[in-house]
């Protein structure tokens, strides 16, 4: 309680001092992040048992909170921002992104309608257009055409929205009104992300109505098999409507042949969605744009700046060629949201572009990231990550104990130990338990495959080299 004005709010001068200390805390954290075990070593319940069972009746100082973050929270953190984090897919962040998130929290606006904060909508539309240019994406995704881009929470949400737009287009809006009828069929790669199946469950399509198409030797979708399956489903009286193709699958970063997949989808009149969640950022470099060959034939496209573009979660970028199809699938206009700007039709109301109504000003951090690095800066670091992965790949190839499983041109290396699954799994466990690095696995044709994903903001050659030494040492120790 602040006696002066009968208020419990934190005074602004106190906020200023605490804000400085929070910034200092982050600087310390990022300076020292290499000294912590990358993978948290706590056991289930270790964090909770240090917290008071009941909420405090009386307010506490920011000192107390910051102390608890250092002493209780930090040991329970798996350090995604560590330069030795090679697990899953990268989720890098950067100072300009943190600053954008901070200012966004300070403004705390709701951008659900253009009218509820025009800048929140317009900066977002603008930065989405910038991304189209930066990545060499087709012009039909620009806001001045019939398409446009929007920030979504995650690629899972973007894929769900693409599926819904496709569903409504296929059923002329009838699914929205009368519900689904179990006849619509969706298609994706047998290596697609679990979010595609989840979206089919959520949208009332059903996971059994999602066809996982057979793969080629490089774990990419086979367009001939897609065509075969679509024809078989049509013959069976079912209604094919949606194809999700991957620029970089989660397991191996496999690149589907988008142009060939698109040709099949287009021939049969199916919606084509391209999921480039992690790999999409690579297209900022002209030499990697081959990954998007064929995207000009897609109806929608998504990638995550919050994975590889130095922007902290959440910030997914989702583009559609026909925004009307998306809006038709998701729009509802109750009286309490009516306003002049919306009715004029001159503005975008982004709440009609996704599941939630509310939305914060996420474009700010992406705007800051692009402006801080400039396109050349982003290119520089993406090239660096890819070069490091390619060098690591060469070490694996040259090694007499590890085997390369997939020859990927980007920033993921999939490999195994020659002694088989148990050896690979034990090596993974040993390096992760050491706390000095963190990597995860996938399974491919019953092989336990290690995944080395390179893309954290502060990862340098020395970290990748140290990781390789640790993997070799763990392999040797195992004997």
Residues 197-226 that bind its own copies (CB under 8 A): 197-198, 200-209
Instruction: Assess 239 for contact with its own copies (CB under 8 A).
Output: no
Contacts of 259 (CB under 8 A, 6+ apart): 293, 294, 297
Q: Which range, of 87-95, 220-228, 253-261, 389-397, touches its own copies by CB under 8 A? A: 87-95
Q: How far is the CB of 364 from its own copies (least distance, A)?
A: 8
Contacts of 21 (CB under 8 A, 6+ apart): 62, 66
How many alpha carbons lie under 13 Å from residue 461 in its C-beta half-sphere? 6
Closest to its own copies by CB, 78 or 434 = 78
Sign of the alpha-carbon torsion through 301, 307, 310, 316: positive
Cα 233 from Cα 288, distance rounded (Å) = 36
Q: Regarding beta strands 440-444 and 402-406, do their DSSP bridges make them parallel or antiparallel, or are they unpaired?
A: unpaired
Q: Which range, of 319-327, 359-367, 389-397, 417-425, touches its own copies by CB under 8 A? A: 359-367
Contact 326, 152 (CB under 8 A): no
Query: Interaction with its own copies in 288-327: which residues (CB under 8 A)?
Result: 306, 312-314
Q: Which range, of 52-60, 221-229, 258-266, 319-327, touches its own copies by CB under 8 A? A: 52-60
Cα 180 from Cα 171, distance rounded (Å) = 9
* Residue from 178, 217, 237, 445 binding its own copies (CB under 8 A): 178
Closest to its own copies by CB, 66 or 259 = 66
Cα 50 from Cα 74, distance rounded (Å) = 13
Instruction: Assess 19 for contact with its own copies (CB under 8 A).
Output: yes
Instruction: Assess 250 for contact with its own copies (CB under 8 A).
Output: yes
Query: Interaction with its own copies in 254-293: which residues (CB under 8 A)?
Result: none
Closest to its own copies by CB, 21 or 267 = 21
Instruction: Assess 451 for contact with its own copies (CB under 8 A).
Output: yes
Q: Which range, of 153-161, 286-294, 385-393, 394-402, touches its own copies by CB under 8 A? A: 153-161
Q: How many CB atoms lie within 10 A of CB 433?
A: 12
Closest to its own copies by CB, 288 or 367 = 367
Cα 161 from Cα 155, distance rounded (Å) = 10
Instruction: Assess 408 for contact with its own copies (CB under 8 A).
Output: no
Q: How far is CA 431 from CA 33, 80, 457, in A?
A: 17, 16, 21
Closest to its own copies by CB, 114 or 303 = 114
Q: How far is CA 161 from CA 151, 242, 244, in A?
A: 12, 12, 12
Closest to its own copies by CB, 72 or 473 = 72
Cα 399 from Cα 420, distance rounded (Å) = 15
| Tokens coding 351 | 């709440």
Query: Interaction with its own copies in 105-134: which residues (CB under 8 A)?
Result: 105-110, 114-120, 122-123, 125-126, 130-131, 133-134
* Residue from 63, 67, 71, 76 binding its own copies (CB under 8 A): 76
Q: How far is the CB of 440 from its own copies (least distance, A)?
A: 6
Instruction: Assess 188 for contact with its own copies (CB under 8 A).
Output: no
Q: Which range, of 188-196, 262-270, 290-298, 396-404, touches its own copies by CB under 8 A? A: 188-196
Closest to its own copies by CB, 218 or 371 = 371
Q: Which is nearest to 188 in space by CA: 283, 141, 254, 281? A: 254
Q: How far is CA 260 from CA 75, 96, 220, 234, 267, in A?
A: 48, 39, 12, 20, 11
Closest to its own copies by CB, 37 or 223 = 37
| Tokens coding 170 | 């296929």
Closest to its own copies by CB, 192 or 297 = 192
Query: Interaction with its own copies in 364-393: which residues (CB under 8 A)?
Result: 364, 367-368, 370-378, 380-381
């Amino acid at each position: 309680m602040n006696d002066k004005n009968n208020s419990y709010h934190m005074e602004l001068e106190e906020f200023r001092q605490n804000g400085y200390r929070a910034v200092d805390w982050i600087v310390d954290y990022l300076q020292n992040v290499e000294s912590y075990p990358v993978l948290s070593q706590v056991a289930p319940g270790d964090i909770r048992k240090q917290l008071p069972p009941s909420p405090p009746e009386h307010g506490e100082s920011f000192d107390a909170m910051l102390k608890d973050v250092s002493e209780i929270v930090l040991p329970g953190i798996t350090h995604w921002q560590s330069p030795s984090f090679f697990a899953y897919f990268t989720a890098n962040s950067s100072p300009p992104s943190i600053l954008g998130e901070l200012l966004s929290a300070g403004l705390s606006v709701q951008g659900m309608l253009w009218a509820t904060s025009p800048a929140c909508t317009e900066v977002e539309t603008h930065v989405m257009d910038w991304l189209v240019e930066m990545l060499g994406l087709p012009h039909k995704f620009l806001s001045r055409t019939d398409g446009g881009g929007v920030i979504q929470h995650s690629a899972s949400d973007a894929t769900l929205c693409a599926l819904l737009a496709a569903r409504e287009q296929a059923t002329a809006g009838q699914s929205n009104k009368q519900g689904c009828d179990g006849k619509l069929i969706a298609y994706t790669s047998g290596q697609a992300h679990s979010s595609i199946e989840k979206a089919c469950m959520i949208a009332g399509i059903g996971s059994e109505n999602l066809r996982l198409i057979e793969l080629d030797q490089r774990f990419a979708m086979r367009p001939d098999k897609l065509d075969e399956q679509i024809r078989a489903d049509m013959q069976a009286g079912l209604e094919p409507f949606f194809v999700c193709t991957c620029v970089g699958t989660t397991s191996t970063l496999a690149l589907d042949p988008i142009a060939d997949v698109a040709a099949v989808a287009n021939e049969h009149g199916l919606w084509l969605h391209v999921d480039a969640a992690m790999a999409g950022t690579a297209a900022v470099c002209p030499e990697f744009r081959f990954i998007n060959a064929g995207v000009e034939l897609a109806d929608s496209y998504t990638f995550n700046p919050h994975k590889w573009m130095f922007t902290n979660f959440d910030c997914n970028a989702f583009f559609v060629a026909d925004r009307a199809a998306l809006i038709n699938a998701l729009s509802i206009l109750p009286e309490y949201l009516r306003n002049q700007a919306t009715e004029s039709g001159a503005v975008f109301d982004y709440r009609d572009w996704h599941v939630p109504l509310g939305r914060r000003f996420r474009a700010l951090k992406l705007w800051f990231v692009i402006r801080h690095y400039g396109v050349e800066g982003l290119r520089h670091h993406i090239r660096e990550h890819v070069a490091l992965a390619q060098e690591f790949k060469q070490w694996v190839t040259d090694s007499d104990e590890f085997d390369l499983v997939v020859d990927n041109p980007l920033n993921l290396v999939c490999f195994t130990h020659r002694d088989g699954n148990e050896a690979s799994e034990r090596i993974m466990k040993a390096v992760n338990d050491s706390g000095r690095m963190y990597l995860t696995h996938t399974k491919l044709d019953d092989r336990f495959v290690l995944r080395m994903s390179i893309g954290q903001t502060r990862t340098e050659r020395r970290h990748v080299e140290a990781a390789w030494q640790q993997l070799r040492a763990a392999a040797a120790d195992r004997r």
